[in-house]
Chain A
Amino acid sequence: MMKSVYKGLTVLLLCLALFCFSSCAVRYETHRSYAMGSYVAVTVPVGTEISPSLSGLAALENEISHRIDGSAVARLNAGECCSPSDRLLRVLCLAEEIGQKTEGRFSIFCLPQTKLWNFDAEHFAPPDADALANALRETENVGFSKTENGLVLTGGALDLGAVGKGLAADVLSELYADADGALISVGGSIAAVGTKNGAPWRVGVRDPFGDGDAILGCLYLSDLAVSTSGNYEKTREHEGERYHHILDAQTGLPAESGLVSVTVVAEDGALTDMLATAGFIVGLDACFALCEEYGARVIAVTEEGEVYASSSLADAFEARTGVTVTFR
């Protein structure tokens, strides 16, 4: 009789242990903040120290913002010779390479153009033809050269707007590399670190034609980054005409390539950010070819509402019911 009671107790204890274990799955919390002109959401296990991420972003901004006096980018723009961090140097080299592959249509050396358009202005107006022609002349021959003491810009001026968010997501994901999973979002550029309780992170892809929270489908990501460029994202109106903010550096005008949104998945956030912008500018076919060169995967939505995705995303992307995806 006693034996049976002991056995029963043992089983009960085991079950309690099992219950505790199953309900002790990692719980996550989301910290919201604003940095680098973006909304930052960091989802980490409850109790994770969050302050390093804010100082990390501040340090990055002090390095790459052209608006901050004394930043590496501001010094380069002022014509100074400057030895950038390895991180910035890598981004500059990659950006220059993508610029060449897109025949100069993607460029991070086009501050004169973005300044002229000033999409953040209180009262927006598109630039007049003369001013635009001037800006195009200033950005005709862009690039940098390496000297003994560092880098010097050989033309144009840097605006890292097309890479900053992805780069910031990279910086933060490094900080949480040892956490029990983390999801970093900097203005819609996302880095998925590890898993969420053993399952990939679920990242919605915004539906460019839908309402504010409409989703095209879900990406299942682990240790990957994703960025999206869309013409719905930042638009301004003037005299009934709508202008979006992704400029084709060869014309100095908002890019019209038949695409409304491009989402790129790869390991490196800075790369996904740049490829999403570059892919948006060059159009469907060139976008897929470009991403393939970098081993990145892509989802592109055309003006007609067609959705194309890399065939290598077939397992990682689940479209919402009613959305037809052509894998290519």
Chain B
Amino acid sequence: MPEQRADLLQGTLDLLILKTVLLGPLHGWGISKRIQQLSGDVLQVNQGSLYPALYRLEERGLMSSEWGLSAEGRRARLYTLTRAGKRQLAAERAGWTLFTGAVARVLEAT
């Protein structure tokens, strides 16, 4: 387990989940693993926030879920990005870029 870990900024978990699901239907465990892998083990998702976040996103209509078969052929709940989710992802991504760029500029100022 890597020593270096970052806590997730408030609100970024939703963005990460949406992005992860964009690539294809995925179950909860898969989502948490993929975020971990893609971030080079820097970001680790707390299960306590993962599932509520999934449910919240679904209630908001950004994702839909149905029971299907996982890659291993097991019954699992698979989450898919909805059209609204895609729009939301684009918007949040733009906002994130703007935000991080701004933070970086402030930090790099001499």
Whether A associates with B in a native complex is: no
